[in-house]
């Protein structure tokens, strides 16, 4: 079982059962759970032919270091696109990419993936050396989006942004000092939305490779939003503009 990775939580396990059941090796379910989500896991696992082991609650929780919610699964990697070229070639519409420059909290990474899925982003790009990995915590926080949105670490983020610009993809950075409010920018075409790390924001070199910097207007007392909330606001605005053009 060492060749398999661990996922946990009902959202993550049910999503894997729905989208990629062949990658599931075995599910461990708290035998004391009789609620609807536990019944859904049992029913869907039976339908997909995935083995379920009913186990003591403490054993299940120990597998996920206390974060299991009552269910864990050993899985193989999902075969989504792993290269940017594949994403861009397969996109059936102008590419919409989410680029995260140094987001190191796996909860925030998972939440950003969830936003990417919700608003139809074609991939999430991160630097290999300055990012949270797609570990079990990020998978759980993504609520299944890690099974549907390609997650692509790149060796050199600045070079990747240059390559996107060469492909006529607008690189839009987010910054509280941006020259335009997000709704004022033209986000309807091919676009890569870049958000920086928690607190520090984008690195200088990343900012220099952006075609435009946008800001989210703040009307209350707080000065900034969580990176995943910012991603959701900006991706929604891009989708809104695309829908308006298609109407």
User: Residue 130: what pLDDT?
Assistant: 82
If you average pLDDT over residues 7-25, what whole number do you get? 92
Residue whose C-alpha is closest to residue 13's, from 68, 58, 79: 68
**For the chain, which residues make up each domain, given as ranges?**
5-75, 84-246
Query: Which contacts of 81-90 are long-range, i.e. CB under 8 A and separated by 24 or more positions?
Result: 81/123, 81/150, 81/152, 82/150, 82/152, 83/152, 84/123, 84/125, 84/152, 84/154, 84/160, 84/163, 87/122, 87/123, 87/150, 87/152, 88/122, 88/167
Is the pLDDT confidence value at 174 over 70? yes
Task: Identify the band that residue 31 occupies on the pLDDT scale cut at 50, 70 and 90.
Answer: very high
User: Residue 100: what pLDDT?
Assistant: 97
* Helix 36-48, helix 10-19: angle, nearest 10: 30
CATH topology of domain 84-246: Alpha/beta knot (3.40.1280)
Task: Identify the band that residue 3 occupies on the pLDDT scale cut at 50, 70 and 90.
Answer: low
If you average pLDDT over residues 32-57, what whole number do you get? 96
Is the pLDDT confidence value at 85 over 60? yes
Task: Identify the band that residue 220 occupies on the pLDDT scale cut at 50, 70 and 90.
Answer: very high
> CATH topology of 5-75 equal to that of 84-246?
no
User: Residue 1: what pLDDT?
Assistant: 41
Is the pLDDT confidence value at 81 over 50? yes
User: CA–CA separation, 66 vs 200, rounded Å?
Assistant: 31
Mean pLDDT of the chain: 92
User: Residue 2: what pLDDT?
Assistant: 44
Sign (positive or negative) of CA dihedral 149, 11, 118, 198:
negative
Q: What is the CATH number of domain 5-75?
A: 3.30.1330.30
> What secondary structure letter does DSSP report for 201?
B
- Cβ-proximal residues to 34 (8 Å cutoff; 6+ apart), any chain: none
Q: Kindly report, residue by residue over 178-198, the tens digit of the pLDDT.
A: 999 999 999 999 999 999 987
User: Residue 158: what pLDDT?
Assistant: 96
User: Residue 78: what pLDDT?
Assistant: 77
% of the chain with per-residue pLDDT over 70: 98
């Amino acid at each position: 079982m060492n060749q398999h990775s661990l996922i946990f939580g009902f959202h993550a396990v049910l999503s894997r059962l729905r989208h990629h059941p062949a990658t599931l090796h075995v599910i461990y379910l708290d035998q004391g759970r009789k609620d609807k989500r536990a019944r859904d896991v049992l029913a869907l696992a039976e339908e997909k032919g995935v083995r379920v082991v009913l186990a003591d609650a403490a054993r299940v929780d120990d597998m996920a270091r206390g974060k299991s919610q009552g269910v864990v699964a050993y899985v193989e990697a999902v075969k989504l696109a792993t290269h940017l070229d594949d994403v861009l070639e397969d996109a059936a519409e102008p590419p919409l990419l989410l680029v995260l420059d140094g987001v190191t909290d796996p909860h925030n990474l998972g939440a950003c993936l969830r936003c990417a899925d919700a608003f139809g982003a074609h991939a999430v790009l991160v630097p290999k050396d300055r990012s949270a990995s797609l570990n079990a915590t990020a998978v759980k926080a993504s609520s299944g989006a890690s099974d549907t949105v390609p997650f692509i670490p790149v060796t050199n983020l600045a070079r990747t942004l240059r390559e996107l610009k060469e492909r006529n993809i607008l690189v839009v950075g987010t910054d509280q000092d941006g020259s335009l409010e997000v709704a004022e920018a033209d986000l309807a075409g091919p676009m890569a939305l870049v958000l920086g790390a928690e607190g520090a924001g984008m690195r200088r070199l990343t900012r220099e490779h952006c075609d435009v910097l946008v800001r989210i207007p703040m009307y209350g007392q707080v000065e900034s939003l969580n990176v995943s909330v910012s991603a959701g606001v900006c991706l929604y605005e891009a989708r809104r503009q695309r829908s308006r053009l298609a109407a």
